[in-house]
């Protein structure tokens, strides 16, 4: 099985609340299981010494029991028992624990052996199973236990018995049991953590939508009491933010209207009362004020569109905007513009593009607009042939009311809000604005917007 290393690390270091809780509980459970099994195994082993030693001990005690002594049956009594003068060879692995247990048993029966030895042979000699009844073969494999007792300096008694081996499938059992415990504990835990995580996820999603024009529906108040309280206070906060934003919109609308009325009155009076070049200059000033008012209101409203975004062909949008410039005789040129569908508010994006082209025409003599698809983005590029912007001033230019000193003194006008509006539109539409100086001279403004899926 091929396992991606990163996936593995991901599994070992879960990031979510649910993942971390489950991992912690699973690890603790496994540790508890392991300790339990070590204790169990030790007890099992201890018990097995008795199981292995007892048949041999009983057999030897029978042989030595003087009450049963009967000359005729001596042969039968001694069958399977080996009496030697020397220490017999031990068949298999010496086992001091079994020997010690046998010694204890002899002593509790009142016998005082000089020396006890025990050996375990994993497989009994081959011929022995053949003598056994056939159904014995189907039993679990048994081990042969050799028990040799030195009663006097020149007398050893040896018996062979059989016992079930200790090698029970301990690993399978530990795994099986652990899985069983996991089933009991982890299934409810998964349920509980998801109950905990669901309201948190809803809260996260809702937080991401705070302040957007479509707003966010109240978060359902579910889950444990403390999580419910969090959702509850979030909803209260959300209400306050909404009313603040509404207040702002309302105020801007009122300012917009209230300033327009005196501006209109001023303009009507200027045009009816004054004649000549002064009048044109006054009208121009009124127009500039009007433009600034419009820009301030646009900037304040970017990203607060009430309509849902639409799938729009960006090439057609650029085409339409350039048509409008051509109608007024502005020096604009078209580069490549392949079809690129984005999901945006067309009016806002058109406004942004118009601002970029206006800047290029005003400060860079000529605007060349092109469109390209780059990864997951459609990129509108507006290049001009002007002086560009000093590298260290590029970031400043995106701030509202910032203009290059050169442009102020040249009296090219402008409110200093154009690029700020473009940047606000870009971020409201999940895109970006990038300004750079072209190596061949002039400024390159690029507006990236994510392609529609």
CA distance 381 to 242: 36
CB 139, CB 160: distance < 8 Å: no
Query: What is the chain's percent helix, strand, coil content, to nearest 5?
Result: 55, 15, 25
CB 202, CB 220: distance < 8 Å: yes
Pairing relationship of beta strands 443-450 and 341-344 according to DSSP bridges: unpaired
Give CA separation, 22 vs 16, 186, 295, 382, in Å.
10, 7, 54, 53
Closest separation between CB of residue 290 and other proteins, Å? 6
Nearest residue (CB) to other proteins, 89 versus 338: 338
Residue 453 binding other proteins, by CB under 8 A: no
Residue 261 binding other proteins, by CB under 8 A: yes
Which residues lie below 8 Å from residue 331, measured CB to CB, with a gap of 6+? 361, 365, 366, 367
Closest separation between CB of residue 319 and other proteins, Å? 8
> Which of 23, 25, 29, 266 is the binder for other proteins (CB under 8 A)?
266
Stretch that binds other proteins, among 133-141, 225-233, 283-291, 411-419 (CB under 8 A): 283-291
CA distance 145 to 326: 106
Nearest residue (CB) to other proteins, 290 versus 437: 290
Residue 271 binding other proteins, by CB under 8 A: yes
Residue 97 binding other proteins, by CB under 8 A: no
Residue 268 binding other proteins, by CB under 8 A: yes
> Which of 122, 324, 336, 374 is the binder for other proteins (CB under 8 A)?
324
Nearest residue (CB) to other proteins, 223 versus 418: 418
Nearest residue (CB) to other proteins, 117 versus 301: 301
Q: How many residues bind other proteins (CB under 8 A)?
A: 43
Residue 272 binding other proteins, by CB under 8 A: yes
Residue 310 binding other proteins, by CB under 8 A: yes
Residue 352 binding other proteins, by CB under 8 A: no
> Which of 86, 135, 328, 391 is the binder for other proteins (CB under 8 A)?
328
Four-residue CA torsion sign, 319, 321, 327, 332: negative
Closest separation between CB of residue 210 and other proteins, Å? 21
How large is the greatest C-alpha to C-alpha distance in the chain, in angstroms?
A: 157
Residue 428 binding other proteins, by CB under 8 A: no
Nearest residue (CB) to other proteins, 339 versus 408: 339
Residue 260 binding other proteins, by CB under 8 A: yes
Give CA separation, 256 vs 3, 130, 245, 347, in Å.
63, 109, 16, 20
DSSP 118: E
Burial category of 395 from C-beta neighbours within 10 Å (exposed 0-12, middle 13-18, buried 19 and up): exposed
Closest separation between CB of residue 321 and other proteins, Å? 7
Nearest residue (CB) to other proteins, 20 versus 264: 264
Residue 354 binding other proteins, by CB under 8 A: no
Residue 46 binding other proteins, by CB under 8 A: no
Residue 327 binding other proteins, by CB under 8 A: yes
> Which of 97, 100, 221, 294 is the binder for other proteins (CB under 8 A)?
294
Stretch that binds other proteins, among 125-133, 167-175, 263-271, 407-415 (CB under 8 A): 263-271
Q: Can you list the pairs that 58-64 forms with residues at least 24 positions away whose Cβ atoms lie under 8 Å?
A: 59/159, 59/161, 60/106, 60/147, 60/149, 60/157, 60/159, 61/106, 61/109, 61/111, 63/157, 64/111, 64/151, 64/157
Nearest residue (CB) to other proteins, 210 versus 259: 259
Residue 256 binding other proteins, by CB under 8 A: yes
> Which of 116, 321, 428, 444 is the binder for other proteins (CB under 8 A)?
321
Structure-token match 């003194």, residue found: 409
DSSP 77-93: HHTTEEEESSPPPPPSE
CB 95, CB 155: distance < 8 Å: no
Number of helices (H) and strands (E) in the chain: give both, helices first: 14, 12
Structure tokens at 240: 């306050």
| Rg of the chain taking only CA atoms, in angstroms | 47
**CA angle in degrees (0–180, nearest 5) for 240-243-249:** 145
> Which of 46, 264, 399, 412 is the binder for other proteins (CB under 8 A)?
264
Which helix H or strand E contains 155, and what residues bound it?
strand 155-163
> Which of 51, 151, 316, 451 is the binder for other proteins (CB under 8 A)?
316
Footprint of other proteins (CB under 8 A):
249, 252-253, 256-257, 260-269, 271-273, 283, 286, 290, 294, 297, 301, 307, 310-313, 316-317, 319-321, 323-324, 327-328, 341, 345-347, 350
């Amino acid at each position: 099985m091929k396992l991606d290393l990163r996936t593995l690390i991901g599994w070992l270091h879960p990031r979510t609340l649910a993942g971390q809780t489950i991992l912690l509980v699973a690890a603790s459970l496994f540790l508890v299981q392991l300790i339990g099994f070590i204790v169990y195994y030790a007890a099992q082993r201890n018990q097995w010494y008795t199981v292995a030693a007892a048949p041999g001990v009983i057999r030897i005690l029978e042989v030595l029991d003087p009450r049963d002594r009967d000359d005729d049956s001596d042969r039968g009594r001694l069958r399977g028992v080996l009496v030697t003068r020397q220490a017999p060879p031990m068949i298999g692995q010496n086992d001091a624990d079994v020997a010690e247990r046998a010694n204890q048993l002899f002593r509790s029966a009142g016998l005082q052996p000089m020396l006890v030895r025990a050996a375990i042979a994993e497989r009994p000699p081959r011929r022995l199973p053949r003598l056994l009844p056939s159904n014995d073969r189907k039993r679990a494999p048994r081990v042969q236990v050799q028990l040799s007792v030195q009663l006097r300096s020149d007398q050893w008694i040896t018996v062979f018995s059989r016992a079930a081996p200790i090698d029970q499938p301990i690993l399978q059992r530990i795994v099986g049991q652990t899985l069983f415990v996991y089933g009991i504990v982890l299934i409810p835990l998964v349920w509980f953590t998801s109950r905990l995580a669901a309201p948190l996820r809803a809260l996260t999603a809702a937080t991401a939508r705070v302040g957007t024009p479509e707003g966010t529906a109240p978060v359902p108040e579910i889950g444990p009491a403390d999580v419910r309280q969090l959702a509850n206070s979030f909803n209260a906060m959300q209400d306050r933010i909404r009313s603040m934003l509404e207040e702002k919109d309302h105020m801007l609308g009122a300012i917009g209207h209230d300033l327009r009325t005196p501006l209109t009155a001023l303009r009507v009076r200027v045009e009816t009362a004054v004649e000549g070049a002064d009048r044109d200059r006054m009208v121009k000033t009124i127009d500039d004020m009007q433009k600034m008012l419009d820009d301030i209101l646009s900037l304040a409203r970017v990203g607060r569109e009430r309509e849902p975004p639409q799938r729009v062909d960006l090439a057609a949008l650029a085409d339409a905007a350039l048509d409008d410039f051509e109608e007024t005789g502005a020096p604009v040129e078209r580069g490549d513009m392949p079809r690129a569908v984005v999901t945006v508010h067309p009016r806002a994006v058109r406004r942004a593009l118009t601002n970029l082209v206006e800047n290029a025409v005003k400060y860079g003599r000529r605007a060349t607009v092109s469109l390209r698809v780059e990864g997951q983005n459609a990129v509108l590029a507006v290049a001009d042939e002007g002086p560009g912007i000093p590298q260290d001033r590029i970031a400043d230019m995106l701030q509202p009311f910032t203009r290059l000193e050169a442009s102020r003194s040249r009296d090219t006008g402008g409110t200093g809000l154009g690029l700020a509006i473009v940047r606000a539109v870009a971020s409201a539409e999940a895109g970006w604005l990038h300004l750079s100086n072209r190596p061949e001279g002039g400024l390159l403004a690029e507006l990236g917007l994510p392609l529609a899926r």
